Amino acid sequence: MKKTWWKESVVYQIYPRSFCDSNGDGVGDLPGISSKLDHLKTLGVNVVWLSPVYKSPNDDNGYDISDYRAIMDEFGTMADFDTMLAGMHERGIKLVMDLVVNHTSDEHAWFQEAKKSRDNPYHDYYIWREAKDGREPNNWEAAFSGSAWQWNEATGEYFLHMFSKKQPDLNWENPKVRAEVFEMMHFWFKKGVDGFRMDVINMISKPCAADGSLPDAPVIRPGFLQPGFMMVTNGPKLLDHLAEMKREVLAKYDCMSVGEAPLATIKQGVEITNEETGSLNMLFQFEHMDLDSIGGHMMGKWAYKPLELHDLKATMTRWQNALDGRGWNSLYLSNHDQPRPVSRFGDDKQYRVESAKMLGTFLHFMQGTPYVYQGEEIGMTNVRFATIEEYQDIESVNMYREAVNDRHMKPAEVLESIYAKGRDNARTPLQWDASANACFTSGKPWLKLNPNYREVNAAQALADPDSVFHYYRRLIALRKANPVMVYGHYALILAEHPEIYAYTRTLEGDRLLVVCNFSGNTPMFKLPADINFGAAELVIANLDVASGTDLRALMLRPWESRVYRLR
Ligand code: NOJ
């Protein structure tokens, strides 16, 4: 396996709107990020993935871009961007931008032209279909509720939008679209950025029927629109488009690329991230994010069920094994679209600190590149706002309206699913200290803070040597010092244990044992007899450990995690 900087890196994701506001308008901004770079430096991360900062009407908080080469007004200016980038580079931190090119905003100049007439030169930049029997061309539901099709009066046809109706999907079959995207990527590379995270990149090639139609999705919810995602991911041209992007752009720079890929299979993971023949460095696959939904991705994410540890073991292990020596994994439990991991998979009350550290251990010792989402490093938790009016996320708000108005669900029941899965859980402003609004803003925050900021905040975490922050700092430092953490071969042990997730990592005679208790109970850990060792040296633990512990029979405390080096 080749050694590269992006395999050895730990990435920190910034969601700029919620990170730090420098001018009191209640919205995080680029100068705010610049003012907090030492926080990242102290943590030890060496790459930042910055969620979109481009000009946008903010229907989906910047994932609806109206100008790919300009900075969003609320976030600052291009000069602020250059200052921020220089500040990162001075600290040895690389910058990965968000590339959102499955769709644009409907306010993008291309779409403004495209919608004018069928013979407009930009018309074919987007995906249009005739009405079918006077209605939408098919039964697809958009990710943010409602039909995936929107009528355009001027041309008398529908356009496709897999997200909101202000996010029309681009037509990647049109070579001009691809050329525009590639040129725009060069623009950012020439400014000095170090790579791209690619939004829903496996949706850029849509599988059409032979006649060019986009067929109905299978009916799994009779009487309603049907989830359309499986109909628009992994189309026949996906690998060609990515190969072209690699040839035309990525191969020309020493850069990092990570593709967001809902519904990605292992086969695609291997194909796309293959060191020799693949086009991207790694993918964000979603299998482990779907494990706590009834029916997985098929029924959508809102039908919550508790995670079964067996499922997590099976999924993670399949990806670890399949990509070992062939491709590369990204490792994440958290981002701006997911609930907070300590609330989702840990215990955000009595054992908040312990379980946050355990989850960090579980993830950072696996093979792949770990991602830390802002606030994860201080153990931020989910939030429960009393009314839907306090939520901002288009996905949650639209889902709520549809569930209550059209499906006649009880508001309290719908709110419960937002508490469990809503994206605003991850988007409440970063909690910097215990002062008003956690020092995120001097004005009125665009989204309310999590009221626990007086106890859970960065200032507290920095001052407390036992905090989640200092534990993450140690995890990140260990990764830099121990090639086995990056490159070692993964092997699951105790596959059947319902509460303990344990595995080894091995690289040329160096072997680590990782033991994580995913419960508030006190299960017994017994190292399998076929794992031979002379001595076990503690590498890191989230609780105090007495010396001379017997690995053949070890009673774990709630949410305990330990890592040993076996000699
Ligand atoms: C995935 C992004 O992570 C999410 O925030 C966004 O809403 C959709 N793609 C659409 O761009």
Query: Residue type for 54, please?
Result: Y
Cα–Cα distance for residue pair 181/99, rounded to 1 Å: 9
Residues 240 and 375 in one domain: yes
Q: Give the confidence band of 346 by pLDDT, cuts at 50, 70, 90.
A: very high
Residues 187 and 202 in one domain: yes
- The answer to whether residue 90 sits within a structural domain is yes
Residues 203 and 258 in one domain: yes
Residues with a known catalytic role: 199, 260
pLDDT of residue 221: 84
Atom of ligand 1 nearest to the CA of 103: 11
- The answer to whether residue 3 sits within a structural domain is no
Phi, psi dihedral angles at 198 (to 5 degrees): -110, 110
The closest residue, in CA terms, to atom 2 on ligand 1 is 199
**Secondary structure (DSSP) of 384-408:** --SSGGG---HHHHHHHHIIIIIS-
* Ligand 1 pocket test target in 68, 200, 332, 396 with most atoms within 8 Å of CB: 200
Number of domains present in the structure of the chain: 4
Residues 434 and 420 in one domain: no
- The answer to whether residue 64 sits within a structural domain is yes
CA distance readout (Å), 353 to 153, 429, 461, 464: 55, 20, 10, 12
Starting at the earlier edge strand, list the strands of the sheet with 561-566.
Answer: 489-493, 500-507, 510-517, 561-566, 536-541
The closest residue, in CA terms, to atom 6 on ligand 1 is 63
Atom of ligand 1 nearest to the CA of 395: 7
Residues 196 and 307 in one domain: yes
The closest residue, in CA terms, to atom 8 on ligand 1 is 63
pLDDT of residue 224: 87
Cα–Cα distance for residue pair 65/56, rounded to 1 Å: 5
296 or 503: which leads in pLDDT: 503
Cα–Cα distance for residue pair 438/451, rounded to 1 Å: 9
Residue 18's CB is within 10 A of a number of other CB atoms, namely 25
- The answer to whether residue 79 sits within a structural domain is yes
pLDDT of residue 230: 87
Residue 337 Cα, ligand 1 centroid: separation in angstroms? 7
pTM for the whole structure: 0.98
Tokens found for residue 536: 């076990």
Tell me the mean pLDDT in the region 342-352: 98
Residue 272 Cα, ligand 1 centroid: separation in angstroms? 20
Q: Give the confidence band of 298 by pLDDT, cuts at 50, 70, 90.
A: low
Cα–Cα distance for residue pair 145/417, rounded to 1 Å: 15
pLDDT at residue 328 tops 60: yes
Phi-psi region of 487 (alpha: psi -120 to 50; beta: other; left: phi over 0): alpha
Atom of ligand 1 nearest to the CA of 335: 3
Which residues face 304 on adjacent strands?
293
Q: 241-289, pLDDT tens digit by residue?
A: 999 999 999 999 999 999 999 999 999 999 999 999 999 999 999 999 9
Residues 138 and 155 in one domain: yes
Q: 145-203, pLDDT tens digit by residue?
A: 999 999 999 999 999 999 999 999 999 999 999 999 999 999 999 999 999 999 999 99
- The answer to whether residue 530 sits within a structural domain is yes
What is the CATH classification number for the domain harbouring 513? 2.60.40.1180
- The answer to whether residue 423 sits within a structural domain is yes
Cα–Cα distance for residue pair 403/396, rounded to 1 Å: 10
- What is the extent of the structural domain holding 147? 109-160
Residues 85 and 143 in one domain: no
Point out the domain boundary residue: 473, 500, 533: 473
Residues 82 and 131 in one domain: no
Residues 462 and 337 in one domain: yes
Atom of ligand 1 nearest to the CA of 394: 7
Residue 199 Cα, ligand 1 centroid: separation in angstroms? 6
Tell me the mean pLDDT in the region 432-458: 98
pLDDT of residue 1: 82
Residues 346 and 378 in one domain: yes
pLDDT of residue 548: 66
Residues 423 and 434 in one domain: no
Point out the domain boundary residue: 417, 448, 473: 473
Residue 227's CB is within 10 A of a number of other CB atoms, namely 21
Enumerate residues 6+ apart whose C-beta is below 8 A from 428.
18, 380, 383, 447, 448, 449, 450
Residues 375 and 510 in one domain: no
What is the CATH classification number for the domain harbouring 265? 3.20.20.80
- The answer to whether residue 69 sits within a structural domain is yes
DSSP assignment letter at 436? G
Q: Give the confidence band of 223 by pLDDT, cuts at 50, 70, 90.
A: confident
The closest residue, in CA terms, to atom 11 on ligand 1 is 63
Residues touching ligand 1 (Cβ under 6 Å) are 60, 63, 100, 163, 199-200, 260, 336-337
Residue 305 Cα, ligand 1 centroid: separation in angstroms? 23
Residue 63 Cα, ligand 1 centroid: separation in angstroms? 6
Q: 86-143, pLDDT tens digit by residue?
A: 999 999 999 999 999 999 999 999 999 999 999 999 999 999 999 999 999 999 999 9
User: Tokens 């599988």 correspond to what residue?
Assistant: 207
- The answer to whether residue 170 sits within a structural domain is no
